Amino acid sequence: MQIHIRPFKTVDAAELQSALLESVGHIGPWLAWATPRYSLADARSWVSESRILWARQTTYRWLITDQDLRKVWGSVEIGRPVPGSEAGRMGYWIRRQALGKGICTRASRAALNYVFQRGLFHQVDLYIDPSNEPSKAVARKLGAQLEVEKGAETSDRDVAKPALHFSVTAEKLAGPKATECGLGSMASECVSIETLAAKKSGGSVYEFRRSLKKARA
């Protein structure tokens, strides 16, 4: 299956809500905000926040979709937990229909290639609940190394829980490094990436830049 990752757009809110509500059963235990009460207003707020954070270059949050841009499969983000930090923090979730297809691994690898190639971070950390086996599996497929078990790094409904600390660098990232795919390529390993860059021209103007990157499940 070919996939595409891009920054959120205002039109994504309804499909984002639908994907989230479908997936509450398997992501709810790990994400406190993933509840049956997740509303369209919540989705719109998430989209708006995502665009603001990208423009500020503090968090890069992508929507995972299919190559035809019709289906929302989930989201992946890499953020800067502390201003000026050279280490990013990564998170991801995938909708129920996309489980077991390698989509999360491929999208996450493409996002990591993006930030490493541009020198945005020298290392990306993942803090994962010890009982979240699918998330740990993705981290290992990315080449992330288990560092230490730390307390109070994940929160489940405002209750601090211990987390496994994984980290990955450009050198350790598993799988092929990102290389250009031909514009006509239909290879299943290709993940197309669309980025959002802020330009100053009498105010904030958003410009979408699109590139094709290669990532393999």
Tens of pLDDT, residue by residue over 11-47, are 999 999 999 999 999 999 988 899 999 999 999 999 9
Phi-psi category of residue 98: left, alpha or beta, with phi > 0 → left and psi -120 to 50 → alpha: alpha
Say if residue 89's pLDDT is above 70. Answer: yes
Average pLDDT value over all residues in the chain: 81
Distance CA 103, CA 100 (A): 8
Mean pLDDT, residues 125-153: 87
Say if residue 211's pLDDT is above 50. Answer: no
In terms of Cβ atoms closer than 10 Å to its own Cβ (0-12, 13-18, 19+), residue 142 is buried
Confirm if 28 and 93 have CB atoms less than 8 A apart. Answer: no
Identify the weakest region by mean pLDDT among 78-82, 168-172, 203-207. Answer: 203-207
Domains of the chain: 3-214 (3.40.630.30)
Alpha helix ranges (H) inside the chain: 13-22, 24-27, 40-56, 103-117, 133-141
CB atoms within 10 A of CB 36: 9
